[in-house]
Amino acid sequence: MQSLQVFYSGHVQGVGFRYTVKQIAKGFDVTGWVRNLTDGRVELQASGESGELTAFLDAIANSELRAHIREQNVTQLTQPPVARGFEIRHE
């Protein structure tokens, strides 16, 4: 199992980004969450097998969201995100 934190920047809020990511997650064996940040970025934390996570992030990058993503910063997490399935956070 691998856990990743991804920050997306660009025009990633107000375009259905979180909803689309949640829909994409349904096709992969991943758990985690996605949320908007006050600085205009979107944060994603996800856990799963390495190949599943890579395929999940590739699916996001190759979806209709690609037109809105200017930058994607990925870091490894030492602990998996606490989540039931894959969810949108509103905190």
Spans of all domains in the chain: 2-75
Cα–Cα–Cα angle for 67, 6, 84, rounded to 5 degrees: 110
Q: Which of 35, 36, 41, 62 is catalytic?
A: 36
Q: Is pTM beyond 0.85 here?
A: yes
pLDDT band, very low/low/confident/very high, at 67 (cuts 50, 70, 90):
very high
Distance of alpha carbon 33 from alpha carbon 29, whole angstroms: 13
**Residue 40 tokens, joined:** 């205009």
Q: Which of 18, 41, 70, 89 is catalytic?
A: 18
Q: Is 18 a catalytic residue?
A: yes
Architecture in CATH of 2-75: 2-Layer Sandwich (3.30)
Residue 88 has pLDDT above 80, yes or no: yes
pLDDT tens-digit readout, 12-47: 999 999 999 999 999 999 999 999 999 999 999 999
